[in-house]
Structure 1
């Protein structure tokens, strides 16, 4: 049976476990690959996943406040990037599903804006944000429409890719809004009305979202791309039609 634990105790345990699993020889290459200013311990994905699974199954936080406190402590006070990966794993753990409500979008926003790189952002977008969108579409959709035009690049990327994997359950109006809000300026001949239109991570996100939905409705994606000829960047177009 799992045991109750305080947030500070859980955070300390996770950090100790990560330190014990560290491989200093791997750490520099991992940091270089991710272009991370935050150092790594050198714990790769599989052992880190196993470590988190075992700790989070055996030690349970008593309430929503404790869960949120532990997630933020692991994230905000992280000295090594693996601690932030452990934070997002805790954030999405099955035992705390009842705590993930529309108000949790504020927490996800914090992780996206402060994470500000594709590994953190994509995990939050395609798992945590997508979950809330599926469960509470009427409440979460307006927030994502706002994120699509936010001043923050990574919130825009989140709004574009948050439906990856939804297939036939996708909200095409939301997808269209998120993409169209970030098209202007995506080609060198279109006016730079969107501040992030030329950003690689936005153009790539558009292509990824369309490529994923192509598996479900290729005709819709083809028509979408054709209708935006001259506005859609070459990168986005190639990615969207990669499996055509």
Structure 2
């Protein structure tokens, strides 16, 4: 039995129908769930990820199977897999990651994948130029990743890059874009509050009220 089918049987054996209904409702009934709590889910495949990490090779065919499954737990598994294998995920793999971003898209998996892209950016400066391009794309989830990929960079955040990306994304009523802008600015305000305060002052008329409200939380 291949790894995907083995994990599917494992998920099925630990499913919780009642919790699955609640989890699906939380996600606007867009996805099916097995109903496995996050901690329990990660524990189920802990040994599997350890064995995969030992191979030092990303199994992209397996990840495609995870994204092809209708149960959301498999997309969460794909993220945890990519995080475990981050040393072996490189710039050349971003086209495949982009496909995952645009597959079964919603904030939960997209925000996970923005961290995967961010991990690559920490090792390869070519990602920065690519994110500028992504910030100009029509797909809101691709734009959201461009905004958020530096979310965990703290003092290593490139403010010039951040400013240009946000400016490329202004002028929309899209909630997930405006929320992401505010979230990113809020996180950066923890290390450079004066920069964020000045950015808000300079672009107040163009920024959505949601973005300003989120960005100003710690100011």
TM over 0.5: yes
Q: Tell me how far apart the structure 2 counterparts of residues 59 and 166 of structure 1 sit (CA, whole Å).
A: 27
What secondary structure is seen at the aligned counterpart in 1 of 2:45?
helix
Matched, 1:168 2:159: no
Matched, 1:13 2:6: yes
What secondary structure is seen at the aligned counterpart in 2 of 1:92?
helix
Residue in structure 1 matched with residue 90 of structure 2 by the alignment: 101
Q: Which of 101, 112, 121 is matched with 2:110 structurally?
A: 121
Q: Which of 21, 25, 28 is matched with 1:35 structurally?
A: 28
Q: Which of 38, 42, 54 is matched with 1:45 structurally?
A: 38
Structure 2 CA distance for partners of 1:141 and 1:11, relative to 1, 3 Å: same
The superposition leaves residues 130-162 of structure 1 with CA deviations (integer Å, 9 ceiling, x where unpaired) of 10111101x111111111011111000110011
Residue in structure 1 matched with residue 207 of structure 2 by the alignment: 232
Check the 8 A contact 1:28/1:40 in 2, yes or no: yes
CA RMSD in angstroms, aligned pairs only: 1.6
Structure 2 CA distance for partners of 1:36 and 1:136, relative to 1, 3 Å: farther
Please list, as runs of the form range in 1=range in 2, the aligned pairs for 1:67-216 lying within 5 A after superposition. 67-76=59-68, 78-93=69-84, 96-125=85-114, 127-137=115-125, 139-184=126-171, 197-216=172-191
What secondary structure is seen at the aligned counterpart in 1 of 2:163?
helix
Q: Could you tell me the TM-score, scaled by structure 1's length?
A: 0.85
Unaligned ranges ≥5, structure 2: none
Structure of higher CA gyration radius: 1
Q: CA deviation at 1:59?
A: 5.3
Residue in structure 2 matched with residue 190 of structure 1 by the alignment: none
